[in-house]
Structure 1
Amino acid sequence: MTATRPTKKQFETLEFIKNFINEHGYSPSYREIMNGCNYTSVATVALHVGNLIKRGHIIKRDRSARSLEIVNASDVKSVEKNYSHELIKEIEERFKSLEKEMSDEILNEVYVLVGALKILGHVDAARAYAGRINNISRDIA
């Protein structure tokens, strides 16, 4: 499906979303879009986002928060190249710590880091780590 040209307001919203993702590495919330584009209500944001989805400029994953993605990936800098390697190193370090000493705090950190990996688009790696987490959780119980 080819994207239909956005209206002026939709274009401003799309540009804000692109810039936010480039700067932060994750998509903005509707409230952040509202504030960033100087809209007066979240409903206005929802309307523009809905129309951008219909026109093929963005997609939204599974009714989850911060799940807006730009359809043309070349418009967004690749954050995963910057952070995924560091993230995987952090996850591996936490697993090593769990092998030495079982800790709920470290296990919670692993859950968060694996979730971040999934958000960055490394779903298969996140699933693999989730399997390791499940094995550790079973050992605790």
Structure 2
Amino acid sequence: MSTLNTIMRQVKELERVNSDLFSAGPVDGDLYHWNAMLIGPKDSPYENGVFELTMHIPPEYPFRAPKVSFNTKIFHPNVGEHGNIFLKMLKNKYFSPIYTINRMLTELHAKLTAPEIGDDDHYDETVASSIGKTKQCSIRLLVHGRSSTLGGSLKK
């Protein structure tokens, strides 16, 4: 099956599921370039946050992982300073065709409150350490050109 057919099928899946956790779609009809918005999970430090992501889907999809990054600044152990995401499921070595766009976004939403910070995981040690020690985290959102900080307990 061609990549475009796979992506079109997944567009229909997203429309059918109509998740309240996120929204996503192609940018200007380009099925290889997507924008997505994750809604911050309730009862988390990210509650009421809206986090914009960019997805670049390779021609080899679903056999190669898309490049996914946060456009919104976020304080999280699996997200780098420039929005790059450190999660196994987004690495070609671990990526599988079972990770549909819907499933990837659902997993990313879940990782907001359950970061990957185990021995075999790639994460920002400073952020993980500050979360681990204080059980608090701050979220920096860039909203309309200004920075605001939210705080709360990190749920595991």
The alignment's TM-score, normalised by the length of structure 1, stands at 0.24
The alignment's TM-score, normalised by the length of structure 2, stands at 0.22
Going by fraction, where is helix more abundant, 1 or 2?
A: 1
In terms of Rg, which structure is larger?
Answer: 1
Going by fraction, where is strand more abundant, 1 or 2?
A: 2
